[in-house]
């Protein structure tokens, strides 16, 4: 089957096979990765290699730390304001959809003032909000931007002109699926469960000068502490980090992020071209803002949409139901989705259209 779920998502076949082969005994030790100590030399090697592979793949400069947290993107919605919104206690937000506004709610809940600088809510988030004028670091601790809006199906392919304010990027749904320049951000975060691994670990990349001792915040979200302890302040999610490490090696074998992005562009174009020609299915997103990884579409008839989803599942094309706030269908085309999976979806939709 092909799994089009928005996350947790499909993993590369060779990675599943390697996990299966290594599960009973890692590196001939007679112990499973599910059982090894996070204080062992073997795990040290796993976490350090994963970190280095992230550094290589994203060209992360030496003055950025790479940290592994639990708690998902949602945990980082709290960690970012707790660690970074310390001077002005005020952040700016581009309200591009559900997850952007959730990040704003979490910061506000922690006593930080959140200025929503622009929103496309009145346009049902079918296009991206932009800044009218650059922002100043004298007014805001940072600007929060969601690079890819998983539910609505939009993405910033070019980052907004933001002035000298620190940029915080929620890359949860296009982390290493689209190539961004790390130096444009002060902080990047995202759970791995869409493009990079199984649920359970969150990658945070933070510029050195933003990591400061902060008092009275939970240790589990404390950047300075995690830097000091090499992400092992407490027991890390050993298996999730191991499996993510295997996906990172797979990404390197594909040629790196430029090549991955090219394949992702090809996959997205295959589906969008079909949708744009179709007389039955429509994608309502402004063309320049369309996501490479999440493609919502609909027949504009909820009963027919349900029929498509069911018939697709019967053909092995799984999890195409759109998010409840948008309805219709959504195909998520993350890194591990092969081109032939998208081709199978297009062929299926074409046949369905012919029959209806």
Size of residue set near ligand PLP by CB under 6 A: 11
Print the binding letters for residues 175-194 with ligand PLP: x by CB under 6 A, - otherwise. Answer: ----------------x---
Mapped onto helix, strand or coil, the DSSP state of residue 69 is strand
Question: Does 170 help bind ligand PLP (rule: CB under 6 A)?
Answer: yes
Q: Is 55 annotated as a binding residue?
A: no
What distance in Å separates the CA atoms of residue 118 and residue 106, rounded to the nearest whole number?
18
Tell me how far apart the alpha carbons of residues 272 and 109 are, in angstroms, rounded to a whole number. Answer: 39
- Range list of β-strands (E), 108-186: 113-119, 142-146, 148-149, 154-155, 167-170
Q: Which of 170, 250, 267, 321 is catalytic?
A: 170
Catalytic, 170? Answer yes
Structure tokens at 339: 């081109």
Q: Confirm whether residue 18 is marked as ligand binding.
A: no
Distance between CA atoms of residues 337 and 356, nearest Å: 27
Q: Which stretch binds ligand PLP (CB under 6 A): 49-57, 170-178, 214-222, 314-322?
A: 170-178
The residue from 2, 69, 99, 140 that contacts ligand PLP (CB under 6 A) is 99
Which residue has the CB atom at the shortest distance from ligand PLP? 72
Q: Would you state the structure tokens that stand for residue 337, as one six-digit string?
A: 């989705």
Contact flags string 9-48 toward ligand PLP, x per CB under 6 A: ----------------------------------------
Residue 169 annotated as binding site: no
The residue within the footprint of ligand PLP, chosen from 83, 96, 166, 173 (CB under 6 A), is 173
Only segment of 18-26, 126-134, 169-177, 306-314 that touches ligand PLP (CB under 6 A): 169-177
Distance CA 141, CA 144 (A): 10
Pick the binder of ligand PLP from 3, 83, 96, 150 (CB under 6 A): 150
> Exposure string (b/e) for 9-19, b if CB count within 10 Å is 16 or more?
bbbbeebeeeb
Q: How far apart are CA 258 and CA 290, in angstroms?
A: 19
Diameter of the chain by CA atoms? 63
What is the token pair recorded at 237?
């999610």
Query: Can you tell me the distance from the alpha carbon of 198 to that of 92, in angstroms, rounded to the nearest whole number?
Result: 31
CB-wise, 92 or 196, nearer to ligand PLP?
196
Q: Cβ 42 to ligand PLP, closest distance in Å?
A: 27
Active-site residue, selected from the candidate residues 53, 95, 99, 289 = 99
The answer to whether 99 is a known catalytic residue is yes
Number of other CB atoms surrounding residue 132 within 10 Å? 6
Stretch that binds ligand PLP, among 166-174, 232-240, 259-267, 315-323 (CB under 6 A): 166-174
Distance CA 58, CA 256 (A): 9
Window 191 to 250, contacts with ligand PLP (CB under 6 A): 191
Q: Backbone phi, then psi, for 2, in 5-degree steps?
A: -110, 130
Residue 106 φ/ψ, nearest 5 degrees: -70, -40
Q: Which is nearer to ligand PLP, 99 or 272 (CB)?
A: 99
Q: Which is nearer to ligand PLP, 191 or 341 (CB)?
A: 191
Binding ligand PLP (rule: CB under 6 A), the pick from 96, 120, 146, 154 is 146
Question: 26-33, long-range: CB within 8 Å, 24+ apart, which pairs?
Answer: 33/238, 33/239, 33/242
| Closest by CA position to 171, among listed 84, 76, 258, 256 | 76
One of 53, 95, 194, 289 is an active-site residue; which one? 194
Please indicate whether residue 250 is annotated as part of the active site.
Answer: no
Binding marks (x or -) toward ligand PLP, 50..89, rule CB under 6 A?
----------------------xxx---------------
Q: Are 24 and 143 in contact (CB under 8 A)?
A: no
Residue stretches of the annotated binding site for L-glutamate: 39
Residue stretches of the annotated binding site: 39, 73-74, 99, 150, 170, 193, 234-235
Instruction: Give me the active site residues, please.
Output: 99, 170, 194
Site residues (vs ligand PLP, CB under 6 A): 7, 72-74, 99, 146, 150, 170, 172-173, 191
């Amino acid at each position: 089957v092909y799994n089009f779920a928005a996350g947790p998502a499909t993993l590369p076949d060779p990675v599943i096979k390697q996990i299966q082969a290594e599960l009973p005994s890692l590196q001939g030790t007679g112990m499973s990765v599910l059982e090894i100590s996070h204080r062992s030399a073997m795990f040290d090697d796993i976490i350090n290699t994963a970190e280095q592979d992230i550094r290589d793949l994203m060209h992360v400069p030496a003055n950025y730390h790479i940290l592994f947290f639990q708690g998902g993107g949602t945990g980082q919605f709290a960690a970012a304001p707790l660690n970074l919104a310390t001077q002005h206690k005020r952040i700016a937000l581009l309200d591009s959809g559900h997850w952007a506004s959730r990040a704003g709610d979490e910061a506000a809940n922690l006593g930080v003032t959140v200025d929503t600088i622009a929103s496309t809510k009145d346009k049902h988030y079918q296009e991206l909000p932009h800044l009218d004028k650059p922002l100043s670091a004298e007014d805001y601790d940072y600007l929060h931007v969601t690079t890819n809006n998983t539910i609505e199906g939009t993405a910033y392919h070019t980052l907004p002109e933001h002035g000298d304010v620190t940029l915080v990027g929620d890359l949860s749904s296009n982390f290493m699926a689209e190539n961004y320049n790390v130096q444009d951000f002060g902080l990047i975060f995202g759970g791995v469960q869409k493009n990079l691994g199984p649920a359970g670990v969150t990658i945070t990349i933070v510029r050195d000068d933003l990591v400061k001792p902060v008092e009275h915040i939970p240790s589990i979200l404390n950047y300075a502490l995690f830097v000091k302890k090499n992400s092992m302040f407490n027991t890390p999610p050993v298996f999730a980090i191991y499996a993510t490490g295997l996906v990172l090696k797979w990404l390197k074998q594909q040629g790196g992020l430029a090549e991955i992005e090219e394949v992702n562009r090809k996959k997205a174009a295959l589906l969008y071209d079909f949708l744009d020609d179709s007389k039955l299915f429509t994608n309502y997103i402004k063309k320049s803002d369309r996501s490479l990884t999440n493609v919502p579409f609909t027949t504009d008839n909820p009963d027919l949409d349900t029929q498509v989803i069911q018939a697709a599942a019967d053909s092995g094309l799984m999890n195409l139901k759109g998010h409840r706030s948008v309805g219709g269908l959504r195909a998520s085309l993350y890194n591990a989705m092969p081109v032939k999976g998208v081709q199978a979806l297009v062929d299926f939709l074409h046949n369905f259209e012919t029959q209806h």
